[in-house]
Amino acid sequence: MTEPSRRTALKRTGALAAAAMAAGLLRPTEAFADWNKSAFESKTVADALRNLKVASPADSKDIVIRAPDIAENGAVVPIEIQSNIPGTRSIAVLIEKNPFPYAASFDFAQGAALPFVALRVKMGETSNVRVVVATADGKFHAAAKEVKVTIGGCGG
């Protein structure tokens, strides 16, 4: 009888495929899985923080935000962020009044990268720049700085 052997063979390949799937070898290729789409598409800070799974960030004076008080050109606003909180794992930047507030986040390898980042962002109008720091112990810390914008950086 050839039928049973064919059956077992089929079963075997099936099992093999399942094992490969489990091992992550045949995972469907998901482009930019790390990119938090829901957070980036949030239109309010509260929604963005919820989608970033940030729970009750405590205000902290140990986050230093260097940004201009008045930005002449909202298309290019230089911001430098330094976290003096021990165990800083990541820094997220949100521009409160932008159409999509969540601008970027940076994950630091412990011990290899200092919790510092410099970037340039677009700002549609005068707004708070909010920084949320996540630490290795799972806590969140926040700070904000207002930047006045004379010419908006979106549209145009």
Partner 1 sequence: MGDPMKIRAKLDGDVLDVRVLMAHPMETGQRKDGAGNLVPLHFIQTMTAQLNGKPVLEAETSQAISRNPVFGFKLKGAKTGDKRTDEVTVPTG
3-state SS, residue 70: strand
Name residue 147's beta-bridge partners. Answer: 127
Can you read off the two tokens belonging to residue 105? 């986040």
Residue 29 binding partner 1, by CB under 8 A: no
CB of 8 or CB of 73, closer to partner 1 = 73
Count, residues in the chain: 156
Residue 133 binding partner 1, by CB under 8 A: no
Residues 118, 146, 150, 151: which binds partner 1 (CB under 8 A)?
118
3-state SS, residue 84: coil
Residue 144 binding partner 1, by CB under 8 A: no
Contacts of 22 (CB under 8 A, 6+ apart): none
Residue 142 binding partner 1, by CB under 8 A: no
The contact set with partner 1 (CB under 8 A) reads 31-32, 34-36, 40, 75-77, 80, 95, 98-100, 102-109, 111-114, 116-123, 153-156
